[in-house]
Amino acid sequence: MGRLFLLIALLLSLVAHIFVSRQVWDTRAEVRRSGEAAYVLPSRFSRILALGYQGLFSDYLFLKTLTFYGERQMLQKPLSEDDWHYLVTSLDVVTDLDPYFFDPYIFAEGAMAWEGKIDEANKLLEKGWRYRDFDWRIPYFIGFNYFYFLHDYEKGGYYIMEAAKLPGSPRFLPTLAARLTFYGGKSETAIHFLMGMLADTEDPSFRATLKMRLLALEGAAELEKVIQRFKNDHGRFPGDVQELVTSGYIDVLPTDPYGGQWILLSSGRVFSTSKFANAQNKK
């Protein structure tokens, strides 16, 4: 009889536990749906609160920030401006406590930038670059944001150039940086950058890639100089690049090593139908 009573008590306890757990989960879900962004303690006070364990406290705050963002995503609830203010402020404090902590910068690039908070993401990444000046990924992220989201080729090229100078950076960065800088109207900058990279590179295959890019940019820059001379003489740009040959300004058009044809734009800039890329790399 005693054992039967104990068994019944255990079953009732189990049922009660399941019921209460379900109620708690439902309540927490409702709180997550309606919960507002919390106040973020400023960095100067957070450092005091950390009691010397700034790295550990930074980890805790970052986990809290990720949890907040993750729950919003799980519930498919759009972030309000207050939510974004909380996230940006929290990440700022996290990286003030531990500016070498890489994960917040990844989050800034992967979440903030792709959800339209470009300036906020770049500001945080700039902070990261001041400390992680050895990490090519930080300036690469900034350069990508300028190029892809803000359509600023010149700044995009600059940051990717800086990334390409750092140890461990991918081999495609120098040619990408030169290409973006050229599109941003900085032909000479792109050329000098590639020349510097060539001087620091011994690998034969990589040198061949850089030389090919350099030859293409030098051809475009040469044409642009001749076009400007034509404009100074005639008060207009030539109708096309071939007019430079027929009017005697140049004997023969430079060859695009990628196999493209030169195109003269109304601005006087010269581009190629190859887009300075190998045929197999074009989309």
Q: Are residues 150 and 96 in the same domain?
A: no
- 89/194 same-domain check: no
The answer on 159 and 266 residing in a single domain is yes
Give the length of the chain: 283
- Residue 106's Cβ-side half-sphere holds a number of Cα atoms within 13 Å equal to 7
Residue 227 lies in a domain: yes
Evaluate whether residue 2 is within a structural domain: no
Q: Which domain-ending residue is among 77, 109, 132?
A: 132
Do 123 and 79 lie in one domain? The reply is: yes
Cα 157 versus chain centre, distance = 12
Q: Are residues 152 and 199 in the same domain?
A: yes
Which range of residues forms the domain containing residue 113?
A: 36-132
Place of tokens 């903030």: 112
140 and 114 in a common domain: no
Is residue 8 included in any domain, yes or no? Answer: no
Mean pLDDT of the chain: 81
Q: Is residue 265 part of a domain?
A: yes
pLDDT value of residue 8: 54
Residue 19 lies in a domain: no
Point out the domain boundary residue: 85, 112, 132: 132
In a shared domain, residues 215 and 277: yes
Q: Give the pLDDT confidence score for residue 72 in this predicted structure.
A: 78
Check residue 177 and give its pLDDT: 86
**194 shares a domain with 76:** no
DSSP string across the chain: -HHHHHHHHHHHHHHHHHHHHHHHHHHHHHHHHHPPPPP---HHHHHHHTTT-HHHHHHHHHHHHHHHHHHHHHTTPPPPHHHHHHHHHHHHHHHHH-TT-SHHHHHIIIIIGGGT-HHHHHHHHHHHHHH-TT-THHHHHHHHIIIIIS--HHHHHHHHHHHHTSTT--TTHHHHHHHHHHHTT-HHHHHHHHHHHHHT---HHHHHHHHHHHHHHHHHHHHHHHHHHHHHHHSS--SSTHHHHHTTS-SSPPP-TTS--EEE-TTS-EEETTTTS-GGG--
Q: Contacts for 142-151 with beta carbons within 8 Å, 24 or more apart?
A: 143/177, 143/180, 144/109, 145/109, 145/113, 145/118, 145/121, 146/122, 147/180, 149/113, 149/118, 150/118
Whether 27 is in a domain gets the answer no
Answer yes or no: is 6 within a domain: no
Last residue of a domain, one of 116, 132, 148: 132
Given this model, what pLDDT does residue 37 score?
Answer: 55
| Residues 99 and 138 occupy one common structural domain | no
Examine the domain organization and report whether 117 and 170 are in the same domain: no
Residue 134's Cα: distance from chain center in Å?
16
271 strand-pairing partners? 263
Closest CA to 276 of 175, 174, 152: 175
Phi, psi angle pair for 216, to nearest 5°: -65, -45
| Same domain assignment for residues 144 and 123 | no
In-domain check, residue 170: yes
Considering the domain architecture, whether residues 92 and 170 belong to the same structural domain is answered as no
Residues of the chain under the 70 pLDDT cut? 1-39, 45, 49, 76, 203, 205-206, 278-283
pLDDT computed for residue 115 by the predictor? 83
**Structural domain count of the chain:** 2
Report field, pTM of the whole predicted structure over 0.75: no
pLDDT at 15: 47
